[in-house]
Structure 1
Amino acid sequence: MTRIGITGHSNLSADSVPLVRAALAEALAPYANGDLTGLSCLARGADQLFAEVVLDAGGRLEVVLPSVDYREAKVKPDNLDRFDGLLMRSALVRYMPHRTAGRTAYEDANEAVLGGIDRLFAVWDGQPSDGKGGTGDAVEAARGRGVPVDVIWPEGARRE
């Protein structure tokens, strides 16, 4: 069983989405032998693309939500159907012990993902984080604990 987590930008440009999806599918292909489990917090952008690609590859999806109110507080109305669809297709949903979304909840969710994986996929443009639990921080944390990181940023990808 291979367990792969995701970290990545939530603000991918619309024209970057197919590029990132294809790059994720290519990166996951070696693991798509029926023993793949993907861990995602289901944030908009990279997290949801990864979740879809894992499911399309026949893998198992596990979701880590930062807080009990995450859906109501952070999922925008135009993203609810996609979020709910992925949530319903997940094999396991784990909530962090926080009532409300916020920095500590996100840090705990990232920690839960990092603690349960064999490798991390990072849909990342290589820019440093602002110190608030962003993609760069997750990459640094994974590397610090010896978790292999695959940076996925295809040619032409950009953030909004």
Structure 2
Amino acid sequence: MSQAIIHIGVSGHQQLGNEATYHFVKQQFSKLIREHQEQGKQVVLYSALALGADQLFVRTALELSVAVEVVIPCEQYESIFTEPADRENYHRLLSLCQDIHYLPSKECSDDAYLFAGQWIADHSDLMVLAWNGQPAKGRSGTGDIANYARSIHRPFVHLHTGKHVVTMCGGVSLREREQKSISPKRDFITSEKVIYQGKTIHVNQYQLQMPDGRIVVRDIVERPESVLVLPVSTDNIVMLIEEYDLGAGVWQLTLPGGKLENPSESDSVFEQAQQELRQEIGYKAGRLEKLLTSYSHPGYVSHKVHFLVAYDLEWSPLEGDTNEEIRVHTYTLQEALALTYDDLRCDPEAALALWLYTGKSRNEKKLL
């Protein structure tokens, strides 16, 4: 009868702190490995051999006759070990390992290290993390690996490097990939029907068959594509409109805009933007620039929004909709940003556009 194999992936801080923490991590990891060995399991360890916790895990595993397989995140990985003693120790441990998995990244970067951590989680039955329980200080930190393990339902043992306590997250079991959570996707749709048709919106009811055979029903509000425009004058003076929001029952600051009449045409976004500007604030733009295209409330609404910025404004009004009661307000950018902090004052898309424009302007100034 073949021996059961459990693959254990490890990750942790490069700086474990004091000697007491070092002994805590080593003792608890040794205990975990022995428990699996006493159950008759063959343990295989996955590690990226980074400084600190990774190498401590590997040394401990080798002492207990555990097979170690190393995951190399990038081509020039050994170059990150800048001290001669660290590089020598890396090569020594590497030579003692059973197998080496070379990942495709050429550059050594946070993205490469994150991918390596995710690869380890994907191929492991159980993860062990030597971690202080705080968010990662940068991409690919141990906190990111914990989040990823949780997202794929990979059980992990948390060796808390600050409190010196052990927590089991998700329960110990061999991986069962088919039981991963899968959200409903358009690919799973088997039928759809319109259950409400209005002038501006309609509601589609979708029936989906999930990979496990379950039937799921979802109602999605479908809205036409729309454009919203942030008008910016000289010295970062912005113009917002105030309209009565019938749905919320309040007056709110928002942006000129409306639905696209011909979304399939390439110039329709900019043409519609000019029309909405002239109707709602009385100005046309000498120049329009894209700020962002995004989906609004994508969980239950299908609605694509194009955000533009209008510059070089010139008076050129068109007659507006008789059912629209619009008040035009002029603010400095700082005044408008301050209004986004007032409860229920700005609609969220106007607030988003203001902050996106501010961030874009600041970044461009840094580049000049």
TM-score of the pair, normalised by structure 1: 0.89
Structure 1 stretch displaced more, 146-155 or 48-57: 146-155
Residues 2, 37 of structure 1: 8 Å contact kept: yes
Identity %: 27
Deviation at 1:95?
Answer: 1.5
Matches of residues 101-120 of structure 1 in structure 2 within 5 Å? Answer: 101-120=108-127
| Counterpart for residue 78 of structure 1 | 85
Deviation at 1:155?
Answer: 7.0
Instruction: Find the residue that maps to 1:58 and give its secondary structure.
Output: coil
| Counterpart for residue 32 of structure 2 | 27
| Counterpart for residue 131 of structure 2 | 124
| Counterpart for residue 145 of structure 2 | 138
Instruction: Find the residue that maps to 1:96 and give its secondary structure.
Output: strand
Instruction: Find the residue that maps to 1:108 and give its secondary structure.
Output: helix
Letter aligned with residue 51 of structure 2? R
Aligned length: 157
Instruction: Find the residue that maps to 2:153 and give its secondary structure.
Output: coil
Letter aligned with residue 13 of structure 2? H
Tell me if 1:43 matches 2:50.
Answer: yes
Bigger relative contact order, structure 1 or 2 (CA pairs below 8 A, ≥6 apart): 1
Compare the two structures and name the one with the higher strand fraction: 2
Tell me if 1:63 matches 2:67.
Answer: no
- Taking the aligned partners of 1:68 and 1:51, their CA distance within structure 2 comes to 21
| Counterpart for residue 342 of structure 2 | none
RMSD across aligned positions (CA): 1.8
Q: 1:75–1:42: structure 2 CA closer, same or farther, 3 Å change rule?
A: farther
| Counterpart for residue 5 of structure 1 | 9
- Taking the aligned partners of 2:109 and 2:77, their CA distance within structure 1 comes to 9
- Taking the aligned partners of 1:153 and 1:57, their CA distance within structure 2 comes to 22
| Counterpart for residue 17 of structure 1 | 22
Deviation at 1:110?
Answer: 1.1
Residues 42, 63 of structure 1: 8 Å contact kept: yes
Deviation at 1:78?
Answer: 2.7
Deviation at 1:73?
Answer: 2.9
Structure 1 stretch displaced more, 30-39 or 119-128: 30-39
| Counterpart for residue 184 of structure 2 | none
Residues 23, 154 of structure 1: 8 Å contact kept: no
- Taking the aligned partners of 1:67 and 1:152, their CA distance within structure 2 comes to 27
- Taking the aligned partners of 2:111 and 2:130, their CA distance within structure 1 comes to 22
Matches of residues 86-97 of structure 1 in structure 2 within 5 Å? Answer: 86-97=93-104
TM-score of the pair, normalised by structure 2: 0.40
Gapped regions of structure 2 (runs ≥ 5): 165-368
Deviation at 1:100?
Answer: 2.2
Residues 40, 113 of structure 1: 8 Å contact kept: yes
Residues 62, 90 of structure 1: 8 Å contact kept: yes
Instruction: Find the residue that maps to 2:45 and give its secondary structure.
Output: strand
